[in-house]
Amino acid sequence: MSSTQSISPKQMLRRALSLAQEAVNLDTARDLQGACAAYNKSIAILGDVMRALQLSVEKQEGDVHLHQSELKRVMDIRTSYVNRVNTLSTKYHLSTVPAISTSALIST
């Protein structure tokens, strides 16, 4: 498996959204454990995307306002996935690794 550092944030975002679609399909098929695993993979990748975007904002690379807007959008998407994993885990008593909150990722 290659390092996410050599992959662009856009590519990472595509992969995260693909995993999230897989999670939705598994969720719909009632494979809740599989859905949570796919959501958690997506959440982890979205965390990497957020860190890359935050770094771009801090370094003032490119269009800072665009990066801030993208960061907020990715954060909102990630938060919805975290909430879904937490809901599934709680409602169905699944033994999944709890997803890390978004605020934990960007606090310094």
Q: Which CATH number fits domain 8-98: 3.40.50.450, 1.10.579.10, 3.90.420.10, 1.20.58.80?
A: 1.20.58.80
* pLDDT tens sequence across 12-55: 999 999 999 999 999 999 999 999 999 999 999 999 999 999 99
Cβ atoms 82, 101 nearer than 8 A:
yes
Interatomic CA distance for residues 92 and 67, integer angstroms: 37
Q: Residue 3: is its pLDDT beyond 90?
A: no
> What is the distance in angstroms between the CA of the first residue and the CA of the last residue of the chain?
29
Q: What is the residue extent of each domain of the chain? A: 8-98
Interatomic CA distance for residues 47 and 54, integer angstroms: 10
